[in-house]
A and B are shown apart, each in its own frame.
Chain A
Amino acid sequence: MTALAHDPRDRGGLQQPMLIARDLRKHFPVKGSGGKSVKAVDDVSFTVGKGETLGVVGESGCGKSTLARLMLHLVKPDAGELVFDGDPVALDPGIAVDALRRQVQMVFQDSYSSLNPRMPVRDSVAFGPFVQGKGKNEARHIARDMLGKVGLDPDAFGPRYPHELSGGQKQRVNIARALATGPRMVILDEPVSALDKSIEAQVLNLLRALKRQFNLTYVFISHDLNVVQYLSDRVLVMYLGRVVELGPIDAIFEQPLHPYTRALLASRPSMDPAHRIAQPPITGDPPNPIDPPSGCRFRTRCPFAERVCEMTDPALGPWQGRQSHTAACHMHNPGSGHSLAASG
């Protein structure tokens, strides 16, 4: 975690988390299903410390993108609470949603569809500062400056339209657009997943440099564990709308607690033809989030599943002796009744 320089907008000091999420919930109703819903995010709680990068990992359909949108109120939570630097979001007293978005910005995975195809990219970058009250000229000036900061020559690239740029260049424009309003926190939703490896490395380096330069706090969402490991200070692992594990990066990668996290880690290609993966770490696909399994949602694929896993939903610690690193698994809760709980 890097220390932050003082920001005049800072309210609670460095010890106060930038963002607190408590029991966030979003269910999307499914038409014609008789009242069923996709349980995209189900009672998710976490904090994001000032100056840190929180990685969010999980497979498709686990709710990580919905979680990103909830943090900006791009979708409204059904239940739960968001607190930004001490202020409850969208409550009175608290911080209004538009004020929140001055301080929190987002970079999306699809770099093309997140830019206006009819606008030169410099106007797209200038648009944010302009609608937030800067004058036209000042907004343009900010746009030029930001394009330069993300490594694009403003004279060569500014006048171009999105379709005239490569994927990596478009994603740089998106990062410039997000930073143009001077946010304190940026939510990066799979920002490099659509890019080629050689370009991915360039953009990751850029994100690291910008974080230092602008004293940013990141939430970095990805399905690629290697990228998350490289960039994050702490990691949140999601499975079917639930947090299954949360902890410091080294602890998660060296001593994963949850069987799902272990399976995710073991599913990474070895990069060594002499040590290929012989057996799949787990079988099957993630179940449908419309009708998730009872109790622990991972139990249908878990090699350690017992009756208690079917009956009771495991709580996400913290368990004794592990304050910062927790997992929602009965094996790690001494009183749960799981046969391996005592040793876990």
Chain B
Amino acid sequence: MALAEVHGLTVRFVTREATVHAVNGVSFQVQPGEVLCILGESGSGKSVTLRALMRLLPPRLTRIEGEVRIEGRDVLAMPSRDLRDLRGGLVAMIFQEPMTALDPVYTVGQQIGETVRRHTGCDRQAARKRALELLELVRIPSAERRLDAYPHELSGGLRQRAMIAMALSCKPRLLLADEPTTALDATVQVQVLILLRRLQRELGMGMIFVTHDLGVAAEIADTVAVMYAGRIVESGPVAQILSAPAHPYTAGLLASTVHGQSRDRDIDAISGSPPDMRRLPQGCSFAPRCTRRMAECRLVIPEPRFPAPGHMAACHAVADGFPATQVANTSTVSGLRATISAR
């Protein structure tokens, strides 16, 4: 059984003025011990997808449809009491900004201990002991002293480590990470990435890692799902996506990422800007910016196609080399499903 299964997930934010179509039919699976990177630019729906997995979106403004299952349990139908056990227990999340995600008026030790006591029911002393173990696990130097530190007394890197410690406190099976290294300096970012990779492997967790940075995805992902305007436009094994992208958006993103290009030439930028999520264009959302646009792109939303086993691209211009045989028995497949059947 897949650790996490998402089927036809749709998220809309409804206000009096407008309806924002943040996520428009996203499907994927994550196996135990797999790292899936959701790659996308701001407004692509990557963080909203992640939050929907834990139902962290404001219920009054949000319309969620589709199916989210974690270890077989239907998250979207779950009563809020079960949800509180799920959050921090089975699934935990690391946020981008540790300074705002941690509570400024409690020490790091108190915050981690609180999570431990809520989920295991142990006493304060045992919770503190566990918090100390966790700080050592994430390699915070002089952990004993840091246990009594407030978040503002820690550097950015240590704060993010403390948040990782808190997320891991109840041995989650699935770790959700929302751009956890974006706010960090380069020399600190690589330390946190290596730490996360090691912990994920040692603890055998599944992980969904949201990022806008191709380089970060290259460092941590097993599989990559590229999102654009609330849809997964391409997915597959990380090496394949980075070396032979099939979707014009992914190819454009790779070309426009500055990485040792010749200084004498312009960068091959994608022209235009992402669509207004309140008024998505008919057909493929990337069509207005696409260099391989055809007449039908403006009219029909492209179905998933499989240029290689386990490699999906939702694009009319992509040749469908590996049709439905590679794909398990569903119509709204993602490439990840195919990846798994191809393994």
Contact = CB atoms under 8 A, between A and B. Distances in A.
The answer on A and B forming one complex is: yes
A198 B252 CA distance: 8
Q: How large is the interface on B (under 10, 10 to 19, 20 to 34, 35 or more residues)?
A: 35 or more
Contact of B190 (A167, A224, A271, A281): A281
Contacts of A198: 41, 252-253, 256, 269-270
Given A285-B155, A285-B157, A285-B185, A230 B216 contact: no
A116 interface: no
A134 B269 CA distance: 36
Interface in A153-169: 166-169
Given A277-B219, A279-B194, A285-B157, A271 B259 contact: yes
A197 B219 contact: no
A201 B219 contact: no
A165 B252 CA distance: 23
Interface string A277-304: 1111111111000000000000000000
B273 interface: yes
B191 A283 contact: yes
A45 B314 CA distance: 54
Interface string A202-237: 101100110000000000000111110111000000
Given A197-B253, A208-B266, A270-B215, 18 more contacts: A59-B186, A196-B274, A197-B41, A197-B213, A198-B252, A204-B267, A205-B269, A267-B190, A268-B186, A271-B257, A273-B219, A276-B219, A277-B219, A278-B194, A280-B187, A280-B190, A281-B190, A286-B155
B188 interface: yes
A232 to B, nearest CB: 9
Given A205-B266, A285-B188, A280 B261 contact: no
A60 interface: yes
Nearest to A285: B155
B267 A226 contact: no
A267 B218 contact: no
Interface of B: 41-42, 141, 155-158, 185-191, 193-194, 197, 212-216, 218-219, 221, 238-239, 242, 252-253, 255-261, 263, 266-271, 273-274
In the A-B complex, the 3 residue pairs with the smallest Cβ-Cβ separation, listed nearest first, are A269-B215, A201-B256, A201-B269
Given A272-B242, A284-B157, A285-B158, A267 B258 contact: no
Contacts of A79: none
A219 B136 CA distance: 43
Contact of A267 (B42, B187, B212): B187
Contacts, number: 129
A110 interface: no
Contacts of B257: 197, 201, 226, 271
Contacts of A270: 215, 218-219
Contacts of B215: 268-271
Nearest to A265: B186
B274 to A, nearest CB: 8
Contacts of A281: 187, 190
A256 B218 CA distance: 25
A138 B224 CA distance: 52
Contact of A230 (B193, B197, B261, B273): B261
B183 to A, nearest CB: 9
